[in-house]
Structure 1
Amino acid sequence: MGVVAYALGKPTLNLIGFFYGVPLLLGGLALKAAELKPTPFSVPTSPEILSLREQQATPTQNQIRNDVTRYRYGQEAHLDDSLERLGLSPNDEERPILKGIRETAIEGQYALILEFDSPFVPLETWQQQREKIEKFFGPGIRVTVEQVEESEIEAALIAVNEE
């Protein structure tokens, strides 16, 4: 708009374009630079699991799923604050990276599986923090941690029926 106004010799419109357009452009570029893409589902969720989710998922499981599957701005990695508080992120370079999530049923209970690339934090450290993870994401959640490949850790947040 400012270029057109300049070409037509209308300095007032040119100033509006300059004073509003440049800050909007810079703001948009800053947001794009601070953008964190959504974590993908590694396996599509079946209708049976969606039904189980509606019945059993805890508010925390829903919040985690919703947070990591949308664009985020101003964060370096998904769940970075949570991992730091749990003692699983010694520093930014060694932080485990959430690379995927999936939903499944474990022993008839809804489970949200967080798939991490964790080359610097060994399975033993994850297992030592398992109870702390349960308390952090609980109540109503049981956590299992397992290593599926050399540097890949899966943390299963399993809904617990408290009857």
Structure 2
Amino acid sequence: MLRKIPLALVGLIVGSILTFTGFYAYAIGNSTLNLAGFFYGIPLLLGGLALKAAELKPIPFAEETPSEVVALRKEKATDTQNQLRNDVTRYRYGQEAHLDEALQRIGLSPTDDERPILTKIKEANINDNYALILFFDSPLISFDKWQEKVEKITKFFGPGITVEVSQNGETGIELALISV
């Protein structure tokens, strides 16, 4: 529940309320409330604005995860799969794109302009194993390049994971991280 609330919004709301209270207290002559409003409200408001500028929204699920896949996740998902799912489905701050560092280390993001963009995720049952499927829009990195990097992706997200790459449309890539 709390993961779905952006920290920037909390800073903006609390900062706005305290700042407005400080201005109102100044108008009615209440110096103590006035100082509290200004000294806490304005920094919180500015912090909320800064976080909003650096905010990276959560990646949506392609479809709702069936209960049998959730049970399979609890049984067979690796720590890496769980961490990855949790990281991309929450608000992030100070990053340009989800998995930007991972893609760069794997060699699939030579520049920021060429970086594939994670658009959605899906959880599935593949051969009685838990699979986390990542959907990328990759117009500048070819499918062949993705296939060349399968071994490196497996090592990066492993152990206990096999990787399958498939093409989805003209520029779409599906990266399945399957527990073994």
**C-alpha distance in 2 between matches for 1:15 and 1:50:** 50
List 4+ stretches of structure 1 deviating above 6 A.
none
| CA pair 18-142 structure 1, distance change in 2 beyond 3 A | same
| 1:81 counterpart = 2:94 | no
| 1:44 counterpart = 2:64 | yes
Match of 1:125 among 142, 145, 148: 145
Letter in 2 for 1:131: E
Deviation at 1:12, TM superposition (A): 4.4
Residue number in structure 2 paired with 1:65: 85
| 1:91 counterpart = 2:108 | no
Residue number in structure 1 paired with 2:26: 6
Larger deviation: 13-22 or 103-112?
A: 13-22
Task: Give structure 1 stretches of 5+ with no counterpart.
Answer: none
**C-alpha distance in 1 between matches for 2:34 and 2:73:** 54
Residue number in structure 2 paired with 1:20: 40
| 1:110 counterpart = 2:130 | yes
Two-structure CA RMSD over aligned residues (Å): 1.1
TM-score for both structures, normalised by structure 1: 0.94
**C-alpha distance in 1 between matches for 2:32 and 2:75:** 60
**C-alpha distance in 1 between matches for 2:69 and 2:33:** 56
Deviation at 1:112, TM superposition (A): 0.6
Deviation at 1:45, TM superposition (A): 0.7
Deviation at 1:25, TM superposition (A): 0.6
Deviation at 1:48, TM superposition (A): 1.1
**C-alpha distance in 1 between matches for 2:94 and 2:59:** 16
TM-score for both structures, normalised by structure 2: 0.85
